[in-house]
Amino acid sequence: MDPEPRPSRPFSVVEGASYPDWESVYRDNVLGIYQLVFRRVGNRADAEDLAAEVLIQTLRTLRFPAPVHDVRSYLVKTARTVLADHWRRHYGRPPETLDSELAERTAALDYLPSASAAARALRILELLPERFRQVLELRFLRGYSAREVAAELRVSPGHVRVLQFRALRKAAELGAEVVE
Amino acid sequence: MKRSERRLAAYLDRLVAGRRPHPFQATPEELAAMTAAVELAAARTGADYPDPGFVERLGRRLRSELEGDAGAPAPAPAVSRRTLLWTAGGSAAAAVLGAVADHTLVTALSAREAETVVPNAGSWRPVAAVQDLPEGQALPVDTGSMRVLLVNDGGRIHALSGVCTHLGCTLQPSPQGGALDCPCHRTSFSLSGKVLHYQLARSPGDLPEVQSRVRDGQVEVFVV
């Protein structure tokens, strides 16, 4: 063994780093933007449409070289607008949490990794009363139908629908308190 | 059942089935429930990874819109194709069953992706000049979030995770070169990341690869 390990090479993000072209922006951000959008619509078809809209809108207006910082912040801002429009068009209004959450993302200039998002969801589940947790875990993490959940928990499918609504509202309350 | 419960139930049915839900005018309570459901559905292992076909098609569409050239190939995303293919595959759903049952979703994720570390929010960073890395040598790089070892394995320059796969001690290049040693339990890895020897009852895993490339004489790694 080396008695004195060699010092690590100092590492720093290159100050003022820029994207040279649209391809580098795409390569670096397509995954983050897709995930950001997917976690706010929950289905692939909508996520693909909206992620495409965000990337196309943003890339059309960029001039290169473009600072990494500006590009990321612009992408998240565009995602905010596109998502709010989507919820407004389809469900009458955007969820209250949408804007504050994305404002934080813009400030952090970074996309939440999958593992952190999953950990947050599990943390919320753990805080729920047992019956609520069971329903949501079976339904949304395991993908059971309402009928299958009813069979598993030995209650009527109608009761599962009532339970899942209450459980989701409770999860939403807790979600506002659980930080990433 | 009330009408409001029925329409929310229909929304959730389609969400769980992975289909596009139908629009309706939602109350604030319904919206809160819907966003909670979306967050949970998105936490399924691999659910939030894009389909590689989508990434490819969108890349081509962008090239066509921005450059007016529909024939050229799409830029490859900064995620290995293998990762995308894997997560889009069927094994994800099966993995969730076990993972959620014992609440080790996060562990399960990291264990399966151990082959190549591909940070979600990573980017390409130049970290060393090629000439600083002679054959048979290794060079540690610390990003704050990741400890990486750049290695020159018989002329092939690549990057490995610099953390021992046994209990997470920080690996050091061996003084004589040609190996990476763990200071904790006399485990040693080759410059290709394979376990050379160990004193443990069972062999620890090989070292995960970190994506790397050489550009203009600089070694670049894909890190956070």
User: Does residue A43 carry a pLDDT above 50?
Assistant: yes
Give the burial class of B202: count Cβ atoms within 10 A of its Cβ; 0-12 exposed, 13-18 middle, 19 or more buried: exposed
B117, B161 Cβ separation under 8 angstroms: yes
| A178 vs A143, higher pLDDT | A143
Contacts of A54 in chain B (CB under 8 A): none
| B62 vs A3, higher pLDDT | B62
Q: What is the pLDDT of residue A117?
A: 79
CA distance A158 to B98: 28
Which of B120, B127, B140 comes nearest A32 by C-beta?
A: B120
Stretch among A3-7, B40-44, B151-155 having the lowest mean pLDDT: A3-7
Percent helix, percent strand, percent coil in chain A, to nearest 5: 70, 5, 25
Nearest to A156, CA basis, from A146, A145, A166, A144: A146
Q: What is the pLDDT of residue A41?
A: 95
Whether A117 sits inside 8 A of B109 (CB atoms) is no
B202 Cβ contact partners less than 8 Å away, ≥ 6 residues apart: none
Contacts of A178 in chain B (CB under 8 A): none
pLDDT digits (tens, 9 = 90+) for B114-171: 478 888 888 888 888 888 888 888 988 887 788 899 999 888 899 999 998 888 888 9
pLDDT digits (tens, 9 = 90+) for A97-127: 777 767 666 655 556 767 777 888 888 999 9
User: Measured between CA atoms, how close is B101 to chain A, in angstroms?
Assistant: 9
Q: Is residue A150 very low, low, confident or very high in pLDDT (cuts 50, 70, 90)?
A: very high
| A83 vs B3, higher pLDDT | A83
In DSSP terms, B160 is beta-bridged to B149, B209
User: Does residue B197 carry a pLDDT above 80?
Assistant: no
User: Measured between CA atoms, how close is A74 to chain B, in angstroms?
Assistant: 16
Report which DSSP code applies to B146: -
Q: What is the pLDDT of residue A142?
A: 86
Q: List, as ranges, residues 72-101 from A with C-beta within 8 Å of B.
A: 87, 89-93, 95-98
Which residue reads 């040279």 in tokens? A20
ipTM for this model: 0.87
Q: What is the pLDDT of residue B82?
A: 35
In DSSP terms, B215 is beta-bridged to B218
User: Measured between CA atoms, how close is A57 to chain B, in angstroms?
Assistant: 10
CA distance B37 to B202: 42
| pTM of model > 0.80 | no
Nearest to B214, CA basis, from B145, B152, B144, B137: B152
